[in-house]
Amino acid sequence: MADKNRILLNVENLSISFGKNDVLKKINLMLHENQSIVVVGRSGSGKSVLIKCIIGLLEMDNGRIEIFGKDISNIPEVEFNNMKSKMGFLFQGNALYDSMTVRENMEFAMNRLPNPMDKINRDKLIMESLNDVGLAHTIDMMPSELSGGMRKRIAIARTIVMKPEIIFYDEPTAGLDPITGKEIIKLINSIKNKYHTASLIITHDINCIQLTGDLIMILHNGTIYICDTYARLKTSNDPVISSFLNINA
């Protein structure tokens, strides 16, 4: 049974500046197993910068980041890279390789692991992930043969193929029609419930904000303006809060 009190990600006093621009100032964030936190904010508010700091693509100026109980600034690069196999990333543009079949796209990341698994177990995980998103029949198809919603589902299947403990979603419903967007939201929740994953979700989609987030974290002027449940935030008369909860409404 999942331990909902287990802390998978702990960010303390994270600050980062680009020149004279203080992008993030003393950000504190704690993400537990089987918990989803949605991060919202205006363009340029630091949402993507936050995730890039967490996964090591950007170096913070100050602060501390612990993933799975380990300070990422004090572990060898090899260990941190191994740790990343427990983290999944869904990119806004899906990042599928057009020249590869669905199967080959799924295999690509798996083959780059320090200890690649044998073909039987690899194929088993691929089929299980494709079944999770309802697209097992596309395994030998090319991305160009798939609709936008199907490509997004394949990208999610590739994200969950190694059963990550944390998944980072970057605008998971962007560019999709409302019906397909709601299907992706339902899939995100289904994956969380099945695998007890923790999720950090960047989105501007009000449906995604409302339906996926256990907590909604609003970034404003480089700081966490508020972090609370959607149910409590939607009753607020604060103009900053209401401006975000009315996005795309």
Domain CATH code at residue 207 = 3.40.50.300
Tens-digit pLDDT string for the chain (249 aa): 445 579 999 999 999 999 888 899 999 999 999 999 999 998 878 898 999 999 888 999 999 999 999 999 888 888 888 888 899 988 777 788 899 999 999 998 787 666 677 888 889 999 999 999 999 999 999 999 999 889 999 999 999 988 899 999 999 998 889 999 999 999 999 999 999 999 999 998 999 999 999 999 999 999 999 999 999 999 999 999 988 886 433
Q: Is residue 138 part of a domain?
A: yes
Put residue 116 in one of left, alpha, beta given phi > 0 → left and psi -120 to 50 → alpha: beta
Kindly give the interhelix angle for 178-195 and 148-160, rounded to the nearest 10 degrees: 10
Q: Is residue 58 part of a domain?
A: yes
> Is residue 102 a contact partner of residue 111, using CB atoms and an 8 Å limit?
no
Q: What's the total number of domains in the chain?
A: 1
Q: Is residue 1 part of a domain?
A: no
H or E stretch covering 157: helix 148-160
In order of 2, 32, 39, 75, 84, the CA distances from 5 in angstroms are 9, 6, 21, 24, 21
Closest CA to 123 of 136, 113, 142, 141: 136
**Residue 202: its pLDDT value, please?**
93
**Residue 4: its pLDDT value, please?**
59
**Residue 227: its pLDDT value, please?**
96
Torsion of CA 201, 202, 203, 208, to 10 degrees: 10
Q: Is residue 206 part of a domain?
A: yes
Report the predicted TM-score, pTM, of the whole model to 2 decimal places: 0.90
One-letter amino acid at 231 equals: A
> Is residue 230 a contact partner of residue 210, using CB atoms and an 8 Å limit?
yes
Q: Is residue 159 part of a domain?
A: yes
Contacts of residue 99, defined as CB under 8 A and 6 or more positions apart, other chains included, come to none
Domain range enclosing 138: 7-245
Q: Is residue 2 part of a domain?
A: no
